[in-house]
Amino acid sequence: MVDLATKSLLHDKLRFLITVSGVAFAVTLVFVQVGLFLGLMGNASLTIEHLDADLWVTSRNAANIDFARAFPESYVQRVRSVPGVARADNLIVWFMNVNLPTGAVEGTEVYALEDFERWNFPWNLPEGRLEDLRRGPYFILDESAKKRWGDFRVGDYREVLGRRLKIIGRSVDAKSFTTTPLTFMDYRLAQSLNPSDLRGNTTYILVKLAPGADVEAVRSEIRRRLPYNDVFTGDEWAKHSRRYWVDSTGLGLNMYLTVFLGCLVGIVVVAQTLYTSTMEHIKEFGTVKAIGGGNYDIYLILGKQATIAAVLGFLFGALQAYAIRPLIDRIDLELVIPAELAIAVFIGSIVLCLAAAMISFRKVASIDPALVFRT
Amino acid sequence: MAVLEARSIQKHFTEGRERVHVLRGIDFDVERGEIVSLEGPSGSGKTTFLSILGCILTPSSGEVSIDGVAADPARLAAIRRRSLGFVFQQFNLFPSLTALENVEYALNIKGLRGEVARNEAERVIEAVGLSDRKSFLPRDLSGGQKQRIAIARALAGASPVILADEPTANLDSVSGAQILDMFRDLAKKENRALVIVTHDPKVRSIADRVVRIHDGRLAA
């Protein structure tokens, strides 16, 4: 069968380029916006997922993992005595100021545990040993701090809340939603740095359940014993932390709005170019009808053209998004494009392009084949 | 037996409150292998009549049958596919398709596919003497060559009736004469009925019969 759809589409190369570019632009926009959103959301709950606690005891109405409030550390004893709890440890998450060698003051988000090894946290440690954190005024700094703090090496010192601490290790991939560099230090050291807020206090209790323990039963008992705290499962706490940023920052609205605008731009460009093309080829379509073709034959032509534009636009758009990735990495953001997103955007591109083509379908249905006799 | 029959064809259009009678009861037959020149002044209803014969327009009253099949409104496209070939004044070739593909596509619409369609397209392209131009796009062909391709498209697929609307109007006199001679030879050789709507007096020289339309009626 002669492929009139493809040949006609490629015949007007400039129009074809505009159509594909429109789709590619929309696809890139969606990939970048949703990818950034997913990257940020991943950071928002990254530490929660890697700590692998079955239950999190938090202060009442805590907003998210980063914005913690202190409560008495002795509560951990009440949790440890709950049947079904295998292990319960205090965790401090707290913002502190760091004086840099340049004289600048930057913030850091401190994660403090008594035993980091037990929680295998931080999870990716190319330099240093977790057990050394207990041996003095030391801390481990994440690689991502280089962006804001400048270069550092293991063995360097930094002043945290006025106290000189030695960097004894370097972690990788430990990030927060706020992009504030993460540091890891001994629980007691963190308390000593900010005694007014943290002496005798913790901000979270991490709970690991005994094998076979009923999560809901344990949670219920912890709630009974700590009526002024909240208790979340790991998944719930991760969702809770992510939802805070989505709701409070307008990030979700921004993403949905941009995705909507991206789709709108794509659909308008494709609809406009296909409709103009239909109008310009109306006599050809009239000829198709005159020689015995029906509306269906012309719908197939338009549908195929829309699908070709969608597929090529998707490929170019995806390539652009992947090309942008290293640039986004450089500013310490992450563009996450999971296979599910790619498949959804691919299907969405085709569906939207076909929907755009349907605007031309109405015109085609009204073509009078008698127009072939008009000069 | 006539391959194309039209009985008591009337056609009127409504313009505002006025009803304009374009055709006022025409009876018309064409035999296989017969060439008929349909003439008349502008506005006489020639093209409207051709559109009705070509199952593109439906008459307000009257009946058309082609190759023994009555042209009822539900089957017009099917009749066009099976029994009719068209040649247009403006050629109406698909600009993105080569000469051969233009013919082959028409055959695809008629339901022929693959090698069968390709061979038939090659045959009619050869019949109109353009085998050496079959891979050219219409923009690279002269007006006469385009019309030959249009004729090849109309002949392809063995449609018994060919309808041509001013086929020489956009051609110079030499090309026009060549096209008409070729058209006559092919129609006769392949036993097709050919109706040519024209203002061109040269068409009379190839026609078996000349029919004039005047004020929506056939004149003697």
Contact between A197 and A94 under an 8 Å Cβ cutoff? The reply is yes
How high is the pLDDT of residue B113?
Answer: 92
Non-local (6+) Cβ contacts of B71 within 8 A are: B55, B58, B63, B64, B65, B79
Q: Which pLDDT belongs to residue B220?
A: 58
Judge whether residue A83 has pLDDT over 90: yes
Q: Could A1 and B113 be called an inter-chain contact, meaning their C-beta atoms sit closer than 8 Å?
A: yes
The residue of chain A nearest to residue B50, with distances taken between CA atoms, is A373
Handedness of CA A58, A60, A63, A69 (dihedral sign): negative
Q: How confident is the model at residue A375 (pLDDT cuts 50, 70, 90)?
A: low
3-state secondary structure chain B: CEEEEEEEEEEEEEECCEEEEEEEEEEEEEECCCEEEEECCCCCCHHHHHHHHCCCCCCCEEEEEECCEECCHHHHHHHHHHHEEEECCCCCCCCCCCHHHHHHHHHHHCCCCHHHHHHHHHHHHHHCCCHHHCCCCHHHCCHHHHHHHHHHHHHCCCCCEEEEECCCCCCCHHHHHHHHHHHHHHHHHCCCEEEEEECCHHHHHCCCEEEEEECCEEEC
B47, B92, B114 member nearest A287 (Cβ):
B92
- If one compares B172 and A128, the residue with the highest pLDDT of the two is A128
Whether B218 contacts B45, CB under 8 Å: no
DSSP structure class, residue A67: S
Residues A183-191 have a mean pLDDT of 96
Among the residue ranges A112-116, A157-161, A187-191, B12-16, the one predicted with the least confidence is: B12-16
Q: Is the pLDDT of residue A370 over 80?
A: no
- Least Cα distance to A43 among A16, A74, A66 occurs for A66
The whole-number average pLDDT for the span A94-104 is 93
pLDDT for the residue B213: 92
Q: Is the distance from CB of B135 to CB of B107 less than 8 angstroms? A: no
What whole-number distance in Å separates Cα of residue B209 and Cα of residue B199?
15
Q: Which residue has 């004893």 as its token pair?
A: A77
Cross-strand bridge partners of residue A57: A205, A231
Chain B residues with CB under 8 Å of a chain A CB are 47, 50-51, 54, 56-57, 77-78, 80-82, 84-86, 88-90, 92, 94-97, 101, 104-106, 108-110, 113-114, 153, 165
* Rg (chain B; Cα; Å): 17
Res A239 pLDDT > 70: yes
Instruction: Count Cα neighbours of A303 within 13 Å in the Cβ-side half-sphere.
Output: 9
What are the backbone angles phi and psi of residue B42, rounded to the nearest 5°? -60, 135
Q: What is the pLDDT of residues A219-231, one digit of tens each?
A: 999 999 999 999 9
Give the one of A2, A289, A373 whose C-beta lies nearest to B88's C-beta: A373
Q: Please say whether the beta carbons of A287 and B80 come within 8 A.
A: no
List Cβ neighbours of B205 (8 Å cut-off, separation of 6 or more): B180
Task: Give the span between the Cα atoms of A252 and A190, in whole angstroms.
Answer: 34
pLDDT band at A266 (very low <50, low <70, confident <90, very high): confident
For chain B, say whether A1 makes contact (Cβ under 8 Å): yes
Pairing of strands A182-186, A55-59: unpaired
Amino acid A353: pLDDT: 87
Cα angle A165, A170, A173; round to 5: 130
Contact of A10 with chain B, judged by CB distance below 8 Å, is answered with yes
**Helix pair angle (A4-11, A13-51), 10° resolution:** 100
Query: In the numeric block, which tokens belong to residue B5?
Result: 């029959």
| A182-186 and A105-113 strand pairing | parallel
Closest residue, chain A, to B47 (C-alpha)? A373
Q: Is A266 or A35 the better-scoring residue by pLDDT?
A: A35
User: pLDDT of A140-159, one tens digit each?
Assistant: 999 989 988 899 999 999 99
Lookup: tokens for A11: 């015949």
Rounded Cα gap, residues A170 and A332, in angstroms: 17
Give the integer Cα–Cα distance in Å for B120 and B103.
9
> Which residues, 6+ apart, have CB-to-CB distance to A104 below 8 Å?
none
For residue B81, the chain A residues in CB contact (below 8 A) are 291-293
- Write the pLDDT tens digit of every residue in A41-52: 888 899 999 998
CB contact under 8 A, B80 and A297: no
How far away is chain B from the Cα of A11, in angstroms, using its nearest Cα?
Answer: 6
List of E strands, chain A: 55-59, 71-72, 85-99, 105-113, 138-142, 157-160, 163-171, 182-186, 201-202, 204-209, 229-233
Q: What angle do CA A341, A33, A65 make, to 5 degrees?
A: 90
Mean pLDDT rounded to a whole number for chain A: 91
The residue that leads in pLDDT, A191 or B157, is A191
- How is residue B160 written in tokens? 């018994």
Phi/psi of residue A125, nearest 5 degrees? -130, 85
Q: Does A372 touch chain B (CB under 8 A)?
A: yes
Give the whole-angstrom CA distance, residue A123 versus residue A143. Answer: 13
Per-residue pLDDT of chain B (220 residues; tens, 9 = 90+): 789 999 999 999 888 888 888 899 999 999 999 999 999 888 888 889 999 999 988 999 999 999 988 998 888 889 999 999 999 888 899 999 999 999 999 999 999 999 999 999 999 999 888 999 999 999 999 998 999 999 999 999 889 999 999 888 888 888 888 888 888 988 898 899 999 998 888 888 899 999 999 888 888 5
**Is B101 in Cβ contact with A373 (below 8 Å)?**
no
**Strands of the B69-70 sheet, one edge to the other:** B18-31, B2-15, B61-66, B69-70
Q: Count each helix (H run) and each strand (E run) in chain A, helices first.
A: 13, 11
The Cα of B162 is separated from the nearest Cα of chain A by a number of Å equal to 11
Smallest Cα distance from A375 to chain B, Å: 7
pLDDT (mean) for A279-288 = 87
Closest Cα in chain A, distance from residue B76 (Å): 8
Nearest to A41 by CA among A243, A301, A203: A243
For residue B14, count other CB atoms closer than 10 A to its CB: 8
Beta strands B2-15 and A71-72, pairing class = unpaired
Q: Is the pLDDT of residue A96 over 70?
A: yes
